[in-house]
Amino acid sequence: MQGFDYQTPTRLIFGKGVVEKLPEVMDGFGKKILLTYGGGSIKKIGLYDEVKNLLKDFEIFELPGIQPNPKYDPSVLEGVRICKEKDIDVILSVGGGSVLDCSKAIAAGAKYEGDPWDLITYKVRAKSALPIVDIITLAATGSEYDMGGVISRTETNDKIGYMDPHLFPAVSFLDPTYTFSVSKKQTAAGCADAMNHIMEQYFCEDSTILNDGFMEAALKSLMINAKKCLENPKDYTARAEMMLACTYGCNGIYSLGSSYTGWPCHGMEHALSAYYDITHGEGLAIITPRWMKHILSEKTVSRFVKYGINVFGIDANLDKFEIANKAIDATYKFFESIGIPMHLKDVGIDESRIDEMACHVAENEGLENAWAPLLQKDIAEIFRASL
């Protein structure tokens, strides 16, 4: 078992109607709020009006239009500008993980004199950040309970994950009813994203009985409940269970004491969505089973056997490679069954830039140090197998 230094100070307020507590919570941080949100789905579900009404005693400035795969330019830059100009006390992020990731970059940038890109690329470490409160409307990224975010810079095809302990949200509101209106496409992509967060931690050299059971349960919960959500989008319990399993995704609690994995699928997918702006969860679902096939070996097979038996109930008496291959096929089939397009060409990616993307990943993601090391040629092979 590995050592660790772990802290997640975020307060989670979970359940139907919890947003009523918003004024009391915001009051603890100040009166000047930057309200960040995306393309308007929060207006459609009435949440925008509810928030504005609840916060009528506060001074609210708005940054709308934050896109999926949130952009350094204009969103982060514009948010930082408003925070500095208006002397904002606290950021209120209302939306999914992209809005929150962008808000985290703004929170750090608001307290830094230079270019926020310095912080995102770790050229400079953040010394502080504005406090962040969020209302999550999509079960997927786990950004509501971690200190990280992912920001894209279009002109350089960069999609960078950055982390800083100042960036844990102070308070996250999670009301499963806000996810009732999430489309089938986004529900499935969110499920795949959250499942992949777990797989990125599960496939490692050294784990524990506790971590494995925790992650296997979370994977089963996500698969069972995603199907229920797709059948009945207003199934409260299913939406709630999905939301909680997603929340734990990236703060490390699924794998305290487990060994380093390198998060290879995220490393590869970041290139896909940086170059082609595809839906992150779909990119992950497409890559994951191909990555699994690629790394399956005498060294890695025992983890796939455990995964196959405990997550998919595959017969433990079969040959170990047969179990592993069945588990990989079951992974593929599950993603397919929830409606995810399972080929890169289905999401508009062809052969033309594969080598360029593989080179970008190999140079930037450190996957030569992953549990199953990936060099540029491995990455290109996985991309080609995904076409």
Residue identified by tokens 């290139």 is 271
Burial of 111 (0-12, 13-18, 19+ CB in 10 A): middle
Among 65, 154, 230, 236, binds a second copy (CB under 8 A): 236
Among 135, 194, 245, 286, binds a second copy (CB under 8 A): 245
Half-sphere exposure (CA, 13 Å, Cβ side) for 304? 28
Among 124, 217, 230, 385, binds a second copy (CB under 8 A): 217
Among 42, 218, 226, 286, binds a second copy (CB under 8 A): 218
**Least distance to a second copy, CB of residue 214, Å:** 5
Structure tokens at 240: 């709630």
Cα–Cα distance for residue pair 32/75, rounded to 1 Å: 19
Cα–Cα distance for residue pair 239/230, rounded to 1 Å: 10
Cα–Cα distance for residue pair 14/134, rounded to 1 Å: 12
Stretch that binds a second copy, among 2-10, 52-60, 126-134, 183-191 (CB under 8 A): 2-10
Question: Comparing C-alpha atoms, which of 152, 133, 105 is closest to residue 11?
Answer: 133
Q: Which is nearer to a second copy, 249 or 264 (CB)?
A: 249
Structure tokens at 41: 């789905």
256 is an interface residue for a second copy by CB under 8 A = yes
CA angle 377, 381, 387 (to 5 degrees): 145
Q: Interface residues for a second copy in 137-176 (CB under 8 A)?
A: 176
85 is an interface residue for a second copy by CB under 8 A = no
Q: Interface residues for a second copy in 183-212 (CB under 8 A)?
A: 208-212
Q: Which is nearer to a second copy, 20 or 351 (CB)?
A: 20
Peptide bond into 116 cis (omega under 30): no
**Least distance to a second copy, CB of residue 381, Å:** 34
Stretch that binds a second copy, among 91-99, 112-120, 240-248, 352-360 (CB under 8 A): 240-248
**Least distance to a second copy, CB of residue 321, Å:** 26
Stretch that binds a second copy, among 66-74, 221-229, 264-272, 292-300 (CB under 8 A): 221-229
